[in-house]
Amino acid sequence: MSVSLIILAAGQGSRMQSDLPKVLHPLGATPLVLHALRAGRVLDPEHVIVVVGHGGAAVAKVIAAEDDRVQIVTQTEQLGTAHAVEQARAALDGVGGDVVVLYGDTPFIRAETLQAMQAARAVHDVVVLGFEAADPGRYGRLVAQGDALERIVEFKDATAAERAISLCNSGVICADRATLFDLIAAVGNDNAAGEYYLTDIVALARERGLSAGVVRCDEAETLGINTRTELAEAETRFQARMRAEALENGVTLSAPETVYFAQDTYLGRDAVVEQFVVFGPGVTVESGATVRAFSHLEGCHVSRGAVVGPYARLRPGAELAEDVRIGNFVEVKNAQIDEGAKVNHLSYVGDATIGPRANLGAGTVTCNYDGVFKHRTEIGEGAFIGSSTMLVAPVRVGAQALIGSGSVITSDVPDEALALGRGRQETKPGLGKRLMDRLRAAKAAQAKG
Ligand code: UD1
Ligand code: MG
């Protein structure tokens, strides 16, 4: 059965008190709306439609950067959740299979839950995701007999008896595409909010002799973000979940509560992550690699056996092959570091290719930026770069070449050559002591007079 996804992301989120659209606020270094999108991907959707409104252009840009097959439709006026889904009608015209509706501000829905909903479609025409709320607050209430759903009543429209129901609507629904849009066409806005409620499709389905059912999930999964406080709480929860998952997957975390993950952080089995490490988006650390304390990684790949840090910074495009060493106070950006190469102390390596087993001494810098353009540095296999060398790109150092410490290298160095680019040393025998004696004598004369 094929599935399409509709993600509702048009709301203003006024309670965030922000110029940034709510669904672009980050959770685990990833905009909220991408959490919903990535969760929905497990269903292998044929079409994905995101309904945008407030800040629509900005939301569309983030979505396009993630996946250019996603279609964006605009809901100019926010007249309710049914009206929002209605905006996707044309984009899904004639498409077969089911539609799953997700909210852009509800980031914790699990893959297994969406799969359970899809499975429940074998039994029910309309499937709604519900949860037992500790505090049902203003959620829509599910009027159900066991798993059979009769209708959903919004808090504002509910009687005291209905408000006493603790089984609540998460907002996630699943139905056949044609059925869903038929039902939505019949939804009116004669209710306390004057909105077109998507939730009305349940009662409409039942009137037509169709069946509706509820799939239950843990309340934590349906947590929606409406305020900065909720976002901060969600971040805490998200980090706790990522740490637990890493530990379950066989990662060593020396102090789990000090390690911060992004939504897509991947750590292989037997990877070791020490204290106070921060992962930004797009990091893969393979099995058996070690990230030592106080390191910051984003958009990079660390292969087996590599050791990073302590105090290292890997920026986007850092590609570390097996057994690489990146040591303290080293920054790597957009650079391929080949197998067994070492950059152990106080270096900047940007826009570079470092050959296998090359060694960059302390304080080596690739001078990649001329103020306008970026240039590349290439270092061959087994080359040895002396400490405090400035490599002024574009420049190439050949395999097995040797660069004298303190050099400023501005032109290419052939394979196996020695290059020195610095002032020649002058040594004057005895002069050091004579100078010091003169200075000390001057100080003694000053103290007397
Ligand atoms: C909705 C449900 C309620 C459920 C709750 C769960 C309806 C009528 N009510 O209520 O049963 O318990 O979610 O959180 O569906 N949106 C649009 N366009 C609109 C309106 C909303 O895109 O015109 C988007 C919002 O940006 C948000 C989502 O739909 O992502 C839900 O809208 P919201 O206004 O928060 O609905 P609730 O009143 O919370
Ligand atoms: Mg809401």
**Ligand 1 proximity of 198 Cβ (cutoff 6 Å):** yes
Confidence (pLDDT) at 1: 79
CATH number of the domain at 242-419, please?
2.160.10.10
- Ligand 1 mean position to 399 CA, how many Å? 62
Please name every residue paired with 132 in a beta bridge, in sequence order, or none if there are none: 167
| Distance (Å) of CA 376 to CA 18, 103, 250, 333, 411 | 40, 44, 38, 11, 13
Work out the burial of residue 57: count CB atoms within 10 Å of its CB; fewer than 13 is exposed, 13-18 middle, 19 or more buried: exposed
Helix (H) or strand (E) holding 344: strand 342-345
| Local structure of residue 393 (DSSP, 8 states) | S
- Ligand 2 mean position to 90 CA, how many Å? 25
Architecture of domain 3-222: Alpha-Beta Complex (3.90)
**Ligand 1 proximity of 51 Cβ (cutoff 6 Å):** yes
Atom of ligand 1 nearest to the CA of 12: 26
Ligand 1, atom 26: closest residue by C-alpha: 11
Which is nearest to 404 in space by CA: 427, 382, 388? 388
Atom of ligand 1 nearest to the CA of 80: 23
110-144 burial, b for 16+ CB within 10 Å, e for fewer?
A: eeebbeebbebbeebbbbbbbbebeebeebbbbbb
**Ligand 1 proximity of 84 Cβ (cutoff 6 Å):** yes
d(CA 325, CA 343): 6
Atom of ligand 1 nearest to the CA of 10: 22
Confidence (pLDDT) at 44: 97
- Ligand 1 mean position to 153 CA, how many Å? 13
Residue ranges per structural domain of the chain: 3-222, 242-419
d(CA 49, CA 56): 13
The 3-state DSSP class for residue 28 equals: coil
* Residues forming the active site: 345
Low-confidence ranges of the chain (pLDDT < 50): none
Confidence (pLDDT) at 131: 98
**Ligand 1 proximity of 59 Cβ (cutoff 6 Å):** no
The 3-state DSSP class for residue 377 equals: strand
Residue-wise DSSP of 265-298: -EE-TT-EE-SS-EE-SS-EE-TT-EE-TT-EE-
Confidence (pLDDT) at 449: 84
**Ligand 1 proximity of 169 Cβ (cutoff 6 Å):** yes
232: left (phi over 0), alpha (psi -120 to 50) or beta: alpha
Confidence (pLDDT) at 115: 96
The beta-strand segments (E) located in 77-120 are: 98-103
Confidence (pLDDT) at 12: 83
- Ligand 2 mean position to 345 CA, how many Å? 50
Q: Which residues contact 430 (CB under 8 A, 6 or more apart)?
A: none
Ligand nearest the Cα of residue 6 is 1
Structure tokens at 109: 């829905």
Atom of ligand 1 nearest to the CA of 139: 12
Structure tokens at 154: 């919004």
Q: Are 203 and 150 within 8 A, CB to CB?
A: yes
